[in-house]
Amino acid sequence: MVSLDGYFVDENGSMDWARDARDNDPEYREFVENNARGGGELLFGRKTYEMMASFWPSPAAKQSLPVVAERMNSCPKVVFSASMDKVMWQNTKLVKNNMVDEVQKMKDSSGVGMAIMGSGEIISQLAQEGLIDEYQIVVIPILLGSGRTIFAGVKDKLKLKLTKSRAFKNGNVFLRYEPARD
């Protein structure tokens, strides 16, 4: 999820503004819950992992979005961090180095897909290496003014092709892109 001005977290590193955007539209809420039912491993950087691990196992998450909370808590997760020593959220594996090599190994092995949740630094590194097959972004009609973009650090132009879009009554717009293959 990104703000209309391109940020996935505000200047304080918070995504609270994105949570507020889903509650006022039943169709969008159903879309979020249906996406949570999909398979795959979730990939995180340290900051996003800590934010998600502090929310999804909580009673508040289980009460507000039980389907999403169950999926977030039960699915396999990988956190990439050189500074962390251990992880506490269930079903989480810690990878301390060689993120690009590890993701390439994961892609080469048979199994379910992967999804990066937030984690702008990971997205920019893996995008540069050509390891992201699809970008799914929900644009939320709010201007934050400052924050962090998920594409900070991308050095080379990456052309993308729109493969799907969907607008919701609350103003949120879902966009799916694939790398453009010239």
CA distances from 62 to 11, 15, 70, 154 (A): 27, 18, 7, 35
Q: Which residue has the tokens 């919701």?
A: 168
Lowest mean pLDDT among 21-25, 129-133, 160-164: 21-25
Task: State the pTM of this model.
Answer: 0.84
pLDDT(58) > 90: yes
pLDDT at 37: 67
pLDDT in the model for residue 36: 66
Q: Which residue in 3, 8, 14 sits closest to 152, CA to CA?
A: 8
Which of these ranges, 14-28, 111-125, 132-146, has the smallest mean pLDDT? 14-28
Question: What residue spans define the domains of the chain?
Answer: 2-179
Q: CATH assignment of 2-179, given 3.40.430.10, 3.30.70.1290, 1.20.1090.10, 3.40.50.620?
A: 3.40.430.10
State which of 17-31, 102-116, 155-169 shows the largest mean pLDDT.
Answer: 155-169
Highest mean pLDDT among 16-25, 111-120, 155-164: 155-164
- The pLDDT tens digits for 5-50 are 999 889 998 888 887 665 678 888 888 877 766 668 899 999 889 9
Which residues are within 8 A (CB) of 57 and not within 5 positions of it... i.e. 6 or more apart?
69, 73, 89, 90
Q: From edge to edge, which strands make up the β-sheet containing 77-80?
A: 92-95, 77-80, 41-45, 114-116
